[in-house]
Amino acid sequence: MRITLDLDEDLIERACKLTGIKETEALVRAGIEALITRAGAERLAALGGTQKSLARIPPPTEWVAGVSAAIHPRGALRTRATASCQPR
C-alpha cells in the first residue's frame, strides 16, 4: 500500500538514532509493528485472570518432552539445540 505521510523531522531523526534504522520506510514499518505488539499485550493484560475455570498450563519443561529445556533470563524458551544460536 502506498501512503503519503507528513512526519516531524526531529521525531524521525530521534527514532533513527535510538533504533539504528536508517531508512524511513523501515522505521515506519518497525513503529507500526511495535504499536501492534504493544496493543496486543495491553489487550492480553486486560484479560489477566478473568477466566478462573481454565485448565492448568504445563511449565515450559513439559512442552519439550525429552529435550533439556531451560528458561532464558530474558524469558525466552531455549533448548539445548537452539542455545548456541545467539544474535551477533
Domain limits of the chain?
A: 1-54, 56-88
Please state whether the predicted TM-score (pTM) of the whole model is above 0.85.
no
How much is the pLDDT for 57?
72
In the numeric block, the cell 533504533 is attached to 19
Q: How far apart are CA 57 and CA 63, in angstroms?
A: 10
Instruction: Report helix angle 24-47 to 9-19, nearest 10.
Output: 80
Q: How far apart are CA 77 and CA 70, in angstroms?
A: 6
Q: What is the pLDDT of residues 14-32, one digit of tens each?
A: 999 999 999 999 999 999 9
